[in-house]
Structures are given as C-alpha cells and as structure tokens.
C-alpha cells in the first residue's frame, strides 16, 4: 500500500469519527467574517451550526434577530446583550435572505 492510499484511509477514518462526534464538536464551516467568533461561541451549545446555512434562504435581518432573541429568551442561549447586534449582523450579512 503506497503512502497516498494509506493517508486516504486515515482521512476516511477521521471523517467517520467526526461524523459520529457530538454536534458540539463542529465540522460545519461558516463564512469567516466579523462576528463569527461570537456565533461559534454561542450557537453550537445546543444544535449544529448547520442550522445557520440551512435557514439562510428564509431569514432576513429582522427574522434573524427574532431567531437570536428566541434562542436566548425561549431556549436560554447564553447570548450577552452586547453580542446580539454583532451576531445578527453576521447572520444577516453572510446568511441573510436576499
């Protein structure tokens, strides 16, 4: 078995392990932009960050704000009041409905 084949097998094993990991250990890659660190810090606690790209066709800025507030107020997401604006801005800019 050549080195290429072997590392491909190792990668496949890694991918399997990642797939089995808890949703908190993120493999979803969100767009790198201001506010991403805050989104990553808060939004992985309960569900996959997949929820963000999955909902991007439907939500505009106002609706994203509603989502973030709902996560905080209804589900108890630990969003600091001063982080709401940067998080909403990030979501609307990178994953907002156009």
**Residues of the shown chain interacting with ligand HEC in the complex, contacts defined by CB under 6 A:** 42-43, 45-47, 51-52, 55, 67-68, 71, 75-77, 79, 87, 91
Q: What is the 3-state secondary structure (H, E, C) of 12-77?
A: HHHHHHHHHCCCCCCCCCCCCCCCHHHHHHHHCCCCCCCHHHHHCCCCCHHHHHHHHHHHHHCCCC
Nearest-approach distance from CB 76 to ligand HEC, in angstroms: 5
Pick 16 or 37: Cβ nearer ligand HEC: 37
Nearest-approach distance from CB 3 to ligand HEC, in angstroms: 42
Pick 10 or 58: Cβ nearer ligand HEC: 58
Pick 87 or 89: Cβ nearer ligand HEC: 87
């Amino acid at each position: 078995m050549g080195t290429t084949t072997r590392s491909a097998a190792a990668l496949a094993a890694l991918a399997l392990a990642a797939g089995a990991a808890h949703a908190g250990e993120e493999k979803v890659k969100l767009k790198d932009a201001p506010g991403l660190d805050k989104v990553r810090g808060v939004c992985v606690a309960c569900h996959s960050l997949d929820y963000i790209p999955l909902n991007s066709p439907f939500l505009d800025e106002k609706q994203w704000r509603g989502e973030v507030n709902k996560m905080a107020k209804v589900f108890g997401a630990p969003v600091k009041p001063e982080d709401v604006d940067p998080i909403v801005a990030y979501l609307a800019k990178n994953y907002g409905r156009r």
